[in-house]
Structure 1
Amino acid sequence: MAPIFVQQEAPPSPPPDTATVTVHALSAGHLTLPEGHFVYPSSATARNTVPSLSFLIQHDNPSTGNPTRIVFDLGLRRDVNRYSEPIRRHAATREPLATQPDVVKSLAKGGLTPDDIDYVIYSHVHWDHIGEPRDFTHSTFVVGHGATDLLHGTSTALRGGHSFFEPDLLPPDRTIELSDPKRAQKEPGPHEPGMLDLNQPWTSLGHLPRTMDVFQDGSLYIVDAPGHLPGHVNLLATTELGQQIYLAGDACHDRRIMTGEREIGEWRDAEGQVCCIHADRREAEETIERIRRLEGQGVEVIFAHDVEWEGNELNQGRFWGV
């Protein structure tokens, strides 16, 4: 199975001792978005069917040779009737909606089951990314700082029908919430490269102000990506081909915003209040600008709802099991 690589002239190969990961896309359903809720200016009637992509990331421990397998986001739940009632009402506004193949079936295409997945990292806990956690009975779940407050209903700053969450979504004994990236950071302790560590300080990486070196070897970073939702995180991976791939979650929902052709959209709810798909529009715009700079540096950027990326025939072989 060929790992993901950018469909351009390949950069120089990394030195033999450079740590890398493999990255494969996973199909995890499709939903339909009203354009006016996401971009401005827009058509009042335009609706776009987009994927909710997930990703399989694999890292081999240099000492043992054993792989650590991570799934980034779980996409849509295969049975929408298993969502809470408020989420079901909202999901009905996103038709046409398809939940197959889900992450479990997509993993099976390459011979894996949920029991093979060590960690599930959520970019954030919106309904179209959470999938079916109960399938992953042996995995540890990782969420960004503030996500558990959302799940338990203690965050009140959000408006819009998309802002419903399930308090019993995650198993408490197998869930890690990352530390607050905006608080003073402790000094890093001794570490062994290749060992996963989620209890480390956030540090800057180039123009990215807050990142966490997951395996402490430069192969995979969790990136604080504020603006869309509390706890929103992205991943920056380096593959064995020397290519860097940035998995941007819901930092941006339409590439025309990245290019400057459009702005972030807003709408009014039933009470006449102005809503935005991003909890903090200013922070979202700053995050988008940082991602834009990465793309300008040659990093491949893939969004969770990246219909252009999915629709590119050259990327079909970059799905797990193809």
Structure 2
Amino acid sequence: MGIKIHNIVTGELENMLVGHLLNAGIHPDHTPEQVMPGGFTADHVSHYGVAAAGGMVPVPVWLLEGTEKKILIDTGLGDVDEIMEMMARHGVPTWTTKSPEQDLVAGLARHGVTPDEIDIVVLSHLHFDHIGNNHLFTKAKFLVQRSEVAQGLTPPAYCQYSYPEYSYKVADIRDRIQIIEGDYQIEPGVRLIKIGGHTPGTMVVVIDTDQGRVALAGDIMYNYKNLELNWPTGSFWSLQDLMSGYDRLHQEADIIVPGHDWEFNKRYPSGTLG
């Protein structure tokens, strides 16, 4: 039996269309309806009173079942009040929510797993919404690309979504970080591909399942519109690397899953692939 991939939502972030599609997807061949991601509306009014196309997006992590080691992809959204205060200080006020059901410990428990049972945590990259619960996994080894570490520990002032106030989330686990460079095979059926693009060391996880080879694209693709239109996100480190990554995923995978789209839950109501 192949590996199963469980989606666990750890909270929600308010996002605008310009962040999800470069230049808000404006093109003479695309209508506004054609570029609107799942859950977004053209007349969204943010919690802070700004009217623009946008909406709330999920912040998932992914639990693998059927692997030799217990593997988790990312650790998701941490304390929402801490995050909102931090982002407001950096001039990007963002409304962030987390329900009791979106607590990561509760999400793991629904699959019969505790944080102490996780052997390996793959950190696809070190933005705040992917490292928020690192502290829960006291017995895990963390896999991180070498080119990602400097930005996580000492982010430059111009790095969007990497903040010095949050670098402790990386520093506190540094004795358990395994630095990798380039593509990396964790075990049969689970492979990491270094793409970059979104950040210097962004990784995609490719998993063999009974439904085919699945690529968890993470933040190189926020939503299915990035995939369908072959249109990049509005947040990137290297646009060339990002788009080369899109091409590679089409070659590597049968199923590509974007990182922040409620459409996944419509396509896979059980929350599980494989």
Q: TM-score, normalised by structure 1?
A: 0.68
CA drift at 1:69: 0.5
Secondary structure of 1:169's counterpart equals: helix
2:264 equivalent to 1:317: no
Distance 2:5 2:145 in 1: 21
Moved over 6 A (4+): none
CA shift in 2, pair 1:172/1:263, >3 Å = closer
Q: Is the 8 A contact 1:87 1:127 kept in 2?
A: no
Partner of 2:130: 129
Higher helix share: 2
Partner of 2:62: 55
CA shift in 2, pair 1:288/1:89, >3 Å = farther
The one-letter code matched in structure 1 to 2:175 is D
Q: Is the 8 A contact 2:105 2:114 kept in 1?
A: yes
The one-letter code matched in structure 1 to 2:226 is I
1:94-133 Cα deviation digits (max 9, x unpaired): 3253354122110011221101111111111111111221
Distance 1:141 1:223 in 2: 16
1:71-103 Cα deviation digits (max 9, x unpaired): 1011111x2244595346469733253354122
Q: How many residues of Structure 1 are paired with residues of Structure 2 in the alignment? A: 244
Report % sequence identity. Answer: 23
2:270 equivalent to 1:301: no
1:238-260 Cα deviation digits (max 9, x unpaired): 12x25211111101123223222
Distance 1:27 1:37 in 2: 20
2:256 equivalent to 1:287: no
2:20 equivalent to 1:38: yes
2:207 equivalent to 1:237: yes
Q: How large is the Cα RMSD of the aligned pairs?
A: 2.7
Where does the alignment leave 5 or more consecutive residues of structure 1 unmatched? 1-15, 62-67, 182-210, 266-276
Distance 1:58 1:263 in 2: 31
1:216-275 Cα deviation digits (max 9, x unpaired): x3x111111110002210111012x2521111110112322322275544xxxxxxxxxx
| Comparing 93-102 and 27-36, the one that deviates more | 93-102
Partner of 1:9: none
Partner of 1:223: 193
Distance 2:94 2:124 in 1: 20
2:175 equivalent to 1:173: yes
Partner of 2:36: none
Partner of 1:214: 186
The one-letter code matched in structure 1 to 2:270 is G
Q: TM-score, normalised by structure 2?
A: 0.78
Where does the alignment leave 5 or more consecutive residues of structure 2 unmatched? 27-41, 43-50
| Comparing 301-310 and 82-91, the one that deviates more | 82-91
Give the structure with higher Rg (CA).
1
Distance 1:148 1:102 in 2: 26
2:139 equivalent to 1:138: yes
Partner of 2:31: none
